[in-house]
């Protein structure tokens, strides 16, 4: 079942990415504010619509950052559902820097078992299935010139998991032995507590290098082995992390509650996550409580 679901998710991410890129290439971004004062664009809405249409045939409940979030009383007993962030890194999309992603995860029994992250402007797609590893596919042209006459049947076949996997790179990628200890951090969220924490990390790793990146691409950098850790000392929502966690864990890395160092679970009453630590399994890092 999961292989069929990841194929559907790859297909949905591809179609959504094409919708997003058609708007992105115009260089004109229409921005409005949601009730929580965060920005939303037409790309968010079109991506959300495309993903819902593509995944409707799975008959699995779906909730998305850009749609109605079911009340906890409605979803508390869900043991299988899609969790979607149609455009993660909306600020990066608005700033036209290419660091935005389309995120789709399948949650089973409170854990992400399928993850798909597309980075449309970079031509990248990361994907994973529980027990089968994580992969990176590069060089994708997400362009769909005419959405009305496009051969979607052929695209579905192209997105078949086994075919896609056969031309993808398994994660993690071979490590560059000359790479210094690398921490990836958010471009948009730079809390004072994080700066203090990174200073303490640098005392442990004097040659530490910082990589600054937007969206769930930070998860992908840790999964592929380009970065050693991603500390996030501020709140995120479950849809921000679900697909990334699936990919990171299948690449042999971890996504942990920063304070307790325990795994993150999903479909909580509050959809907010605690501060996170995404890292290689044996990496040595200071505790959050030490001086923060």
Binding site for Mg(2+): what residues are annotated? 65, 85, 87-88, 240
Residue 80, φ and ψ in degrees, nearest 5 = -155, 120
CA 276 vs CA 25, 191, 231: distances in Å: 33, 13, 6
Residue (of 208, 251, 266, 246) closest to 116 by Cα position: 246
Binding site feature residues:
65, 85, 87-90, 240
Binding site feature residues for substrate:
65, 87-90, 240
Instruction: Check: CB of residue 103 under 8 Å from CB of residue 85.
Output: yes
Measured CA to CA, the distance from residue 179 to residue 208 in angstroms comes to: 10
Measured CA to CA, the distance from residue 20 to residue 179 in angstroms comes to: 34
CA 247 vs CA 170, 207, 234: distances in Å: 11, 27, 21
Task: State the alpha helices, DSSP H only, in the chain.
Answer: 2-24, 42-55, 72-75, 90-94, 152-158, 161-166, 192-204, 217-224, 238-250
Quote the Cα angle for 128-286-246, to 5°. Answer: 10
Residue (of 205, 236, 200, 203) closest to 218 by Cα position: 236
Cβ neighbors of 184 (< 8 A, separation 6 or more) are 210, 211, 212, 213, 218, 221, 222, 226, 227, 229, 230
Instruction: Check: CB of residue 137 under 8 Å from CB of residue 102.
Output: no
């Amino acid at each position: 079942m999961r292989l069929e679901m990841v194929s559907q998710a790859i297909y949905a991410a591809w179609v959504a990415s094409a919708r997003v890129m058609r708007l992105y290439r115009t260089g004109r971004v229409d921005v409005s504010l949601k009730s929580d004062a965060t920005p939303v664009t037409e790309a968010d809405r079109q991506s959300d619509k495309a993903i819902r249409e593509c995944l409707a045939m799975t008959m699995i409940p779906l909730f998305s950052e850009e749609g109605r979030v079911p009340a906890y009383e409605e979803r508390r007993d869900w043991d299988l559902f899609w969790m979607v962030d149609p455009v993660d890194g909306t600020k990066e999309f608005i700033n036209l820097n290419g660091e935005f992603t389309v995120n789709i995860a399948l949650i089973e029994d409170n854990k992400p078992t399928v993850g798909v992250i597309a980075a449309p402007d970079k031509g990248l797609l990361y994907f994973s299935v529980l027990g089968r590893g994580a992969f990176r596919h590069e060089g994708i042209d997400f362009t769909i010139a005419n959405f009305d006459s496009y051969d979607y049947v052929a695209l579905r076949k192209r997105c078949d998991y086994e075919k896609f996997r056969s031309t993808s790179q398994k994660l993690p990628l071979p490590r560059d032995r000359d790479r210094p200890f690398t921490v990836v951090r958010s471009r948009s969220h730079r809390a004072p507590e994080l700066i203090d924490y990174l200073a303490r990390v640098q005392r442990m790793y004097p040659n530490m290098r910082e990589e600054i990146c937007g969206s769930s691409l930070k998860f992908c950098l840790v999964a592929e082995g380009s970065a050693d850790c991603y500390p996030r000392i501020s709140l995120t929502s479950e849809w921000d992390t679900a697909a990334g966690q699936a990919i990171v864990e299948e690449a042999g890395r971890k996504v942990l509650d920063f304070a307790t160092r325990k795994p993150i679970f999903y479909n909580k009453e509050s959809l907010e996550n605690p501060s996170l630590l995404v890292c290689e399994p044996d990496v040595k890092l200071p505790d959050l409580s030490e001086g923060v």
